[in-house]
Structure 1
Amino acid sequence: MSFFNTISRSMTRAQRPSKRATTPTSATFSPTEMPPPPSPTVPSPRTSPIPRPLYLSRPFVEAALVKGNFKTIVMLPKYVDIMEWVAMNIFDFYTNLNEFYGVIAECCTQQSCPTMMAGPTLSYTWINQERKNVHLPAPTYIDYVMTWIQNLLNDEATFPTKSGHDFPQTFPSTVKHVYRQMLRVFAHVYHAHFHQLLHLRSEPHFNSLFAHFLAFGREYELLDMKDVKGSSSAPVGIGQLYDRWREMGILEG
């Protein structure tokens, strides 16, 4: 199902209860501005062998709360408006990701994560107000992303919660950008903090959340595979996880 082919549809919808999650705030980020998509940069390649990430190793790669293919839980329910379905799931993914990050936030510091790494040879850069690519510590980068998404969720013009208020025509492109940013937060947590999730025995919960996120994004064309996998010279760590879950039958191609 193509989410972007539904823009011309009537977007009449039922009322959705308004609920919001609490996120960190940033004194240096304007919450009313939507940041442009950051661009990945490639550090010099390493010469030493790169160890296999824990999240790709057994039994952790198989740890999950949900068994079987996630296709069945992302399908649009009968009589549910697609805009409403996507909005509700965006809110849930954001809320759960925000809670998981809050648990390991004290381990994600400017000292431990001086850049927003998402793989051994990949880090994301932020585009500042001067339109320049800058490296930010991961906690700062994530704070900017989560603050921006929270402000969008609070914006009735973007995520309407009152009966009779329609979604804007720009909603599909906006949520695609939101999805890309959340994907990068997932990627950093897997790359830099999966061992902390293991210590908390939370890997089945986080794996299930991420598999659901990937399945939903692919079903409604909110994810580009280049964002999931990266390039040959700068692969995203979770790209191999996506392929592994496809082999296991958890995700579809």
Structure 2
Amino acid sequence: MSPETLILLLNLRLHVILTLDFYNQINMLYGTVTEFCTPTECPVMNAGIGQEFPKTFKSTIQSIVRRLFRVYDHLYNRHFAEIYTLGIKAHLNTSYRHFFFFIDKFDLIKKDELIPLEELNASIISGKLNSQQQQQQQPK
């Protein structure tokens, strides 16, 4: 295993805790709109030390974060009005921003899979999505 691969895998292992934190955050955020997210409204959801890393370690993490991304995408594109009304848009924006930096840093999701939120991602990268704009952001 190359040193670069080992460093990447060690970093991912350290950030698995972040992945669990993302799961907890997205679960909490999604829980706020479950009454609006019914099968009728949303029929399809559009994310050890001394041991060798499993060969599927990175692909497993990628699969998890892809599924989490789909939940963020669903919240932004189907339930942002409810998120806004509930007064938790800043929480959603902060959670997604943290998640986006994580997946971007470790190149965990292919760029073409991020297209549904590309405008938001561009705002995050450019630094335009800050706390002041979070306060002014209106639902679509």
Q: Note whether the superposition's TM-score is higher than 0.5.
A: yes
Cα offsets for 1:189-229 (capped at 9, x unmatched): 10001111111110001101001101110101112110101
CA distance in 2, matches of 1:8, 1:210: 22
Instruction: Give the alignment's TM-score, normalised by structure 2.
Output: 0.78
AA aligned opposite 2:29: F
Residue 242 of structure 1 deviates from its aligned partner by 1.0
**Partner residue in 2 for 1:97:** 26
Change (3 A) 1:115 1:108: same
Unaligned runs of 5+ in 1: 10-80, 118-144, 146-159, 230-235
The two structures have a TM-score, normalised by structure 1, of 0.45
| Contact 1:83–1:167 under 8 Å retained in 2 | no
Quote the offset at 1:8 in angstroms.
9.0
In the alignment, which residue of structure 1 is the partner of 2:134? none
Measure how far apart 1:115 and its partner are: 2.7
Is 2:79 the counterpart of 1:185? Answer: no
- The residue that corresponds to 2:126 in the other structure is 247
In the aligned structure 1, how far is the partner of 2:112 from the partner of 2:77?
A: 17
Is the helix fraction higher in 1 or 2? Answer: 2
- 1:203 corresponds to which of 89, 94, 107: 89
Q: Percent identity?
A: 28
1:108 aligns with 2:37: yes
Inter-CA distance 173–222: structure 2 relative to 1 (3 Å threshold): same
State whether structure 2 residue 6 is matched by structure 1 residue 6.
yes
5+ residue gaps in structure 2?
A: 131-140
Q: Could you say which residue in structure 2 is the equivalent of 1:226?
A: 112
The aligned length equals: 127
> How far apart in 1 are the matches of 2:14 and 2:54?
15
Offset from partner CA, 1:124-165 (integer Å, 9 cap, x none): xxxxxxxxxxxxxxxxxxxxx7xxxxxxxxxxxxxx6xx766
**How has the CA–CA distance of structure 1 residues 173 and 113 changed in structure 2, closer, same or farther, with 3 Å as cutoff?**
same
Q: 1:82 aligns with which of 2, 5, 11?
A: 11
How big is the shift at 1:116?
Answer: 2.9
